[in-house]
Every structure is written in structure tokens, then in C-alpha cells.
Amino acid sequence: MPYDLTSSASIKSVAKQLANLLVDTRLESQGPEWTNHNFTRLEKFFEKDAGVTCYYNSAKDSVDSRREFVWDFLAIKSNGGILLAAESEQHHKEGIGFRHDFEKLLYVFSPIRLYITKAKTKEEAELLSHSLADYARGCCAHFNPGSVFILHFDLWNDSGSVTYLWQSKGEPVALESEEISFGEPVSST
């Protein structure tokens, strides 16, 4: 059954389903195994919608046909655009890589954006979530209306997980255009 992402309420509903999947299917591992597990479960989530194709770089198979596509993971619906953009960063300490991966999600036009990472404790996850919220405000002044950000922390030593949701204000608006025309060339050689 296709996911309905046409209103802020439906986007939030699908985001909550995805967040529940993340909580229910944890894996205590590191490295490529952890990354592969995360992307495999995201792909399974979108199997319900036959028109969705997922792209990611599988560390198991370097010749994988679902190669990484700018972001670590994308779920794309034919004639429907990006449904989910996800980044996965294992480093539990704040740093350039940690923020860089998160920042890539700020600029994608997608109803659901997911950042999967790790933290030592729930308290550290809370501090990192506040830090990323401040960082987002400093990087990006506009978000597509109704979009949901999911910030998911697997806690070290198999001590659970913490998931946060934030939804931007407003309702998504479909692009309604019978014809797209770029008009006259700006320059020619």
C-alpha cells in the first residue's frame, strides 16, 4: 500500500511508523554491519509501496546496484519525488563528520529526513539533539512545509535507543504545472 505524504498529519504518521521500526529492530554492532543493517531495514519499510526505489551504498557488495546517491539512503517514488532521505553516522562524539552528515539533510526537499547515529547515554543523546537543533537553525532558514526530521540514537552497550521527531510548520504543497518551460536561453555559445 502506498504511503500517503500529502498532508503534514500523514507525513507525521508515516514518520512515526518509521521511528517505531527503528526502535523495534536494533542491532548492537559497528562498522559496515551496523550501516548495512540500518539501510536494509529502511528498504524493508518501503517495500510496502511498490513504486518506491531505494538507493544506498551497501558495504557488503561493492557492485551493488543501489549505489549511494549523494545522501547515504534515498527512497524515491516514480513521479513522486524523494520520500525519505537518510544519513547514518556512527561517531558518537560531536565533530565535523557528525554535523556534515546532518547538514546534508537540511538541504534536501523530502517529506521525511532521518539521521541515524549513536550516543553513549540518553543524556548524551539529548545534548546532541539540542546541539543539532541549534546547528540547523544556523544553517538553514527555510524547510519544506510539513516535513518531519527523525533523529535516532542507538545507545552504546545495547542499552536501548532514543528517537526524536520534529515537524516543520505548514502543509505540503504539490507542484501543479501542466507544462514546464525554461524559456529562452540565458546565453549561448
DSSP state of 51: T
Q: What is the mean pLDDT of residues 126-139?
A: 89
Going by pLDDT thresholds of 50, 70 and 90, the confidence category of residue 149 is: very high
Q: What is the pLDDT of residue 161?
A: 93
Going by pLDDT thresholds of 50, 70 and 90, the confidence category of residue 165 is: very high
DSSP state of 184: S
pTM: 0.69
Residue 135 near residue 98, CB atoms below 8 Å = no
Q: What is the pLDDT of residue 65?
A: 47
Query: Which residues fall within 8 angstroms of residue 111, CB to CB, at 6 or more apart?
Result: 5, 11, 14, 83, 84, 144, 146, 147, 148, 172
Distance between CA 155 and CA 169 in Å, rounded? 30
Give yes or no for residue 130 having a pLDDT over 70: yes
Give yes or no for residue 75 having a pLDDT over 90: yes
The C-alpha cell 498532508 sits at 7
Distance set, CA 114 to CA 12, 14, 92, 176 (Å): 13, 12, 16, 27
Percent of the chain whose pLDDT exceeds 90: 25
Residue 14 near residue 5, CB atoms below 8 Å = yes
Percent of the chain whose pLDDT exceeds 70: 81
Q: What is the mean pLDDT of residues 87-103?
A: 73
Residues 34-55: pLDDT tens digits?
Answer: 778 888 888 888 888 877 888 7
Three state DSSP letters for 66-109: CCCECECEEEEECCCEEEEEEEEECCCCCCHHHHHHHHHHHCCC
Going by pLDDT thresholds of 50, 70 and 90, the confidence category of residue 147 is: very high
Distance between CA 11 and CA 84 in Å, rounded? 11
Mean pLDDT score of the chain: 81
